[in-house]
Amino acid sequence: MTTPPLKIGLVGCGHIGRAVHLETLRRLPDVQVTSLADVDRNCLDAAHARCPDARVFNDFRDLIEQADVDAVVICLPNAFHAEAAIAALESGKHVYLEKPLAIELEEGERVRRVWKTSGCIGMIGFNYRCNPLHLDLRQKLLAGKIGDLLGARTAWTAMPYHAPEWKALRQTGGGVLLDLGSHHFDLIQFWFDQPIVEVFAAVRSHRRDDDTASVQARLATGMIVQSFFSIGSVDDERFEVAGSNGRLWFDRFNSWSVELSDLRKQSIPERYLRRAVSSLPRTRFAINKLRSPWLEPSFATALARFVRAARTREQVRPDFDDGFNSLAVVLAAEESARLGSPVPVSPAATAR
């Protein structure tokens, strides 16, 4: 007996929604994209051209009401995330929601409450948890590869690409902390398996609202992680963790694997040799990066995980609790920048 396809509606058909989410969903087995929604007719027509059998809607609320939609993937502007997620959950639809969960803490808390009473799957789009490099880093940390942890650094800068108008203003969901920082705040808590409890941040506006930020985050154990984010530089993303016995680091755009510098065992020449060998493309992940270096491999893994969860009705992470935790760090960082002093993260976000 064949398994009926999971019927999915795509809410938000902008460039990322079409090029990443829609294309990925079309390639997943036992998935049928039945509906598309967007207020922009050009975006909707472009998505419909890729998926001509799907019905189209100008209002996402009309899509959510359709009986032949089992789940929705929401890629709307940030300011509409909470409203759309709540509407879908209240209609009994499983939800994959692009980050952030919301743009204000009260909204995020309401999404979380509705999700927990709905019985539906609620997965947040922190796809980097599915990236092989981040998974490798987490495993090496759990194995104690670098001894006692001393501190970490992250940095993510992006070119000032043409962006929709809503991204220019914080009040409509823009800002580098919601855009880039939210991913790193989730990853930090994922790697070290502990919450961020306090932040000290500085934010500047160059081309648009809050497009550059530096954040010092303190974890529950007291360890400090320093992060820098900017939309207006080169495309670059780096991670480094220092320990008493060595260092782990990688560059998401250029690394094939996480590099381990073990200070107990390697001389300087040995470290250079290890780096040269580790740079050779030996894995399927590396081959995929060579074929399409701009394509992030974790999107397909994350959406496939969501589809499996929707079928089995077994909750999967990253979930809406994880989305709320990241949002709480973002908002604490924004408050810290306004006050010029450290700010604790909302207690509601420091425990599951």
My answer on whether 178 and 270 are in the same domain is yes
My answer on whether 115 and 139 are in the same domain is no
Higher pLDDT: 310 or 267? It is 310
User: Would residue 181 count as lying in a domain?
Assistant: yes
My answer on whether 139 and 282 are in the same domain is yes
My answer on whether 65 and 27 are in the same domain is yes
Q: Is 1's pLDDT higher than 70?
A: no
My answer on whether 218 and 285 are in the same domain is yes
- The predicted pLDDT at position 265 comes to 60
My answer on whether 171 and 137 are in the same domain is yes
Confidence of residue 293 (pLDDT cuts 50, 70, 90): very low
CATH number of the domain within which 93 lies: 3.40.50.720
282: domain range?
131-293+328-344
My answer on whether 231 and 152 are in the same domain is yes
- The predicted pLDDT at position 50 comes to 96
My answer on whether 137 and 272 are in the same domain is yes
Confidence of residue 290 (pLDDT cuts 50, 70, 90): very low
My answer on whether 115 and 190 are in the same domain is no
In this prediction, residues 270-289 reach a mean pLDDT of: 52
My answer on whether 201 and 305 are in the same domain is no
Number of structural domains, the chain?
2
User: Would residue 350 count as lying in a domain?
Assistant: no
- The predicted pLDDT at position 296 comes to 82
User: Would residue 323 count as lying in a domain?
Assistant: no
My answer on whether 181 and 310 are in the same domain is no
User: Would residue 44 count as lying in a domain?
Assistant: yes
Q: Is 138's pLDDT higher than 60?
A: yes
Higher pLDDT: 11 or 265? It is 11
CATH number of the domain within which 278 lies: 3.30.360.10
The average confidence (pLDDT) of the chain is: 91
User: Would residue 247 count as lying in a domain?
Assistant: yes
% of the chain at pLDDT higher than 70: 89
Q: Is the pTM of this model over 0.85?
A: yes
In this prediction, residues 252-269 reach a mean pLDDT of: 78
> If DSSP states are collapsed to H, E and C, what string results for the chain?
CCCCCEEEEEECCCHHHHHHHHHHHHHCCCEEEEEEECCCHHHHHHHHHHCCCCEEECCHHHHHCCCCCCEEEECCCHHHHHHHHHHHHHCCCEEEECCCCCCCHHHHHHHHHHHHHHCCCEEECCHHHHCHHHHHHHHHHHCCCCCCEEEEEEEEEECCCCCCHHHHCHHHCCCHHHHHHHHHHHHHHHHHCCCEEEEEEEEECCCCCCCEEEEEEEECCCCEEEEEEEECCCCEEEEEEEECCEEEEEECCCCCCCEEEECCCCCHHHHHHHHHHHCCCCCHHHHHHHHCCCCCCHHHHHHHHHHHHHHHCCCCCCEHHHHHHHHHHHHHHHHHHHHCCCEECCHHHCCC
In this prediction, residues 325-351 reach a mean pLDDT of: 92
My answer on whether 169 and 278 are in the same domain is yes
